């Protein structure tokens, strides 16, 4: 049996998501034939390793797009808006990690476990959702299907890798400076991130929501197929390097209990239910790092029993929240069947 191999490109190959994409393509043995890595001019010539071979990063230039069949974009919205349509017009499958196309109704927004049918056989652009949305939706969409959700309340605790490589450096440098009694220098974030946190992820709108909160509201309504779902989201940046956590409370339309929800989530794809009665009943960012699953724990009734459920969700934002979901989208579109 000859397995077709694809000419695969990563645009943004030196970034936090790009580096994870390279690892995941290797780990899942994605059928890569030719492999092309792109970033900004700053990184031209840098070497990245894939399956024990070195690949030189090229400066992004549409004239080198010839022959690319599968492209993963993780270089920010502006780059996606400019270059993704060019590749799509060549017939390539383009999985975009940025927010450039997530609001476009004519472009599928996909979490394979939830709406993989929208990706099957598709070429052109498919949008990968926001990292906080992916882990939330994987846990609550089965509940929506079974009982309906009336209200959803979410507080996020988001790591700095969600902002990218430079923000990870800012947390490291500020932490060292603080411990050594030196002044902290701010470059990326509006407030100091070391030994601190702030409910401020992206710009605020006239209604007081920040950009991350708006993305979560919009995308979650789309995945739960309910434009008028009442959602209250507070997005908080915390001094954690990797993995996002979420405290979630919801009120269902039909009555249910925590044990019924646990039975449902135990077999929900992509979800790992942690329902021990001891310390193991929840995950932490450190435990979820490098893992594929979305960990759901501290599942409990919100009084009065039968009307509300609360839970704690943790997932690796660079994996299921970004690179892993992107690769699973490509596997689904190409009919490779994802693992
Ligand atoms: N981090 C997450 O959890 C996450 C989750 C979901 C989606 N995303 C999205 O994924 C994208 C990348 O995020 P990230 O966290 O990986 O950011 P990052 O660490 O800052 O990396 C950005 C990447 O884009 C490249 N790049 C920047 N400007 C470019 C340009 N003009 N031309 C070509 N390449 C350029 C950078 O190359 P140089 O190294 O040469 O500068 C680098 O490879 C963003 O759109 C982000 O919103 C991130």
* Nearest CA residue ID for atom 33, ligand 1: 40
**Ligand 1 centroid distance, CA of 7 (Å):** 21
pLDDT digits (tens, 9 = 90+) for 71-82: 999 999 999 999
| Residue 93 CB less than 6 A away from ligand 1 | no
Mean of pLDDT values over 304-333: 95
Task: Let me know if 190 is exposed, middle or buried by CB neighbors in 10 A (0-12, 13-18, 19+).
Answer: exposed
Q: Is the CB of 40 under 6 A from ligand 1?
A: yes
Q: How far apart are the first and last CA of the chain?
A: 20
Q: Computed from CA positions of residues 35, 39, 44, 50, in that sequence, does the dihedral angle turn out positive or negative? A: negative
**In the predicted model, is pLDDT for residue 304 greater than 90?**
no
> Residue 57 CA: which ligand 1 atom is closest?
40
Q: Check residue 338 and give its pLDDT.
A: 57
- With 60 as the cut, is the pLDDT of residue 288 above it? yes
Residues ≥6 apart with Cβ < 8 Å to 86: 62, 65
In this predicted structure, the answer to whether residue 143 has a pLDDT above a threshold of 60 is yes
Between 172 and 306, whose confidence is greater?
Answer: 172
Active site residue 244: yes
Nearest CA to ligand 1 atom 45: 76
Contacts of residue 302, Cβ cutoff 8 Å, sequence gap at least 6: 249, 251, 308, 309, 310
- Of 19, 90, 244, 307, which is the active-site residue? 244
Confidence of residue 279 (pLDDT cuts 50, 70, 90): low
- C-alpha closest to that of 48 among 59, 60, 36: 36
pLDDT digits (tens, 9 = 90+) for 173-232: 999 999 999 999 999 999 999 999 999 999 999 999 999 999 999 999 999 999 999 999
CA 8–ligand 1 middle distance (angstroms): 18
Contact 199, 208 (CB under 8 A): no
Strands 53-59 and 47-50: antiparallel
Q: What is the pLDDT of residue 305?
A: 81
- Looking at residue 171, its pLDDT comes to 98
pTM above 0.75, yes or no: yes
315 lines ligand 1 (CB under 6 A): no
Q: What is the mean pLDDT of residues 225-245?
A: 97
């Amino acid at each position: 049996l000859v397995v077709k191999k694809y000419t695969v490109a990563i645009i943004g190959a030196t970034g936090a998501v790009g580096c994870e994409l390279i690892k995941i393509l290797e780990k899942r043995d994605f059928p890569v034939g030719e492999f092309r890595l792109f970033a900004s001019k700053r990184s031209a010539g840098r070497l990245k390793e894939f399956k024990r071979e070195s690949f030189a990063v090229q400066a992004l230039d549409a004239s080198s797009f010839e022959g690319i069949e599968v492209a993963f974009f993780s270089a920010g919205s502006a780059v996606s808006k400019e270059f993704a349509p060019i590749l799509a017009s060549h017939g390539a499958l383009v999985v975009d990690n940025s927010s450039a196309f997530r609001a476009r109704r004519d472009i599928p927004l996909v979490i394979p476990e939830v709406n993989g049918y929208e990706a099957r056989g598709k070429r052109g652009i498919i949008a990968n959702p926001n990292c906080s949305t992916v882990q939330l939706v994987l846990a609550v969409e089965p509940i929506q299907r079974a009982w309906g959700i009336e209200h959803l309340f979410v507080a996020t605790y988001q790591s700095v890798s969600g902002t990218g490589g430079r923000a990870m450096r800012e947390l490291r440098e500020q932490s060292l400076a603080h411990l050594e009694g030196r002044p902290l220098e701010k470059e990326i974030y509006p407030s100091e991130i070391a030994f601190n946190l702030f409910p401020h992820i992206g710009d605020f709108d006239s209604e007081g929501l920040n950009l991350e909160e708006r993305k979560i509201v919009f995308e979650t309504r789309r995945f739960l197929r309910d434009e008028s779902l009442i959602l209250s989201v507070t997005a908080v940046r915390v001094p954690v390097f990797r993995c996002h956590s979420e405290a979630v409370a919801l009120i269902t339309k039909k009555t249910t209990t925590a044990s019924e929800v646990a039975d449902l989530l135990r077999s929900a794809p992509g979800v790992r239910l942690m329902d021990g009665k001891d310390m193991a009943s929840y995950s932490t960012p450190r435990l979820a790092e490098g893992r594929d699953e979305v960990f759901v724990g501290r599942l409990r009734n919100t009084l009065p029993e039968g009307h509300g459920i609360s839970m704690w969700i943790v997932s690796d934002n660079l994996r299921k929240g970004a690179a892993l979901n992107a690769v699973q989208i490509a596997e689904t579109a190409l009919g490779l069947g994802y693992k």
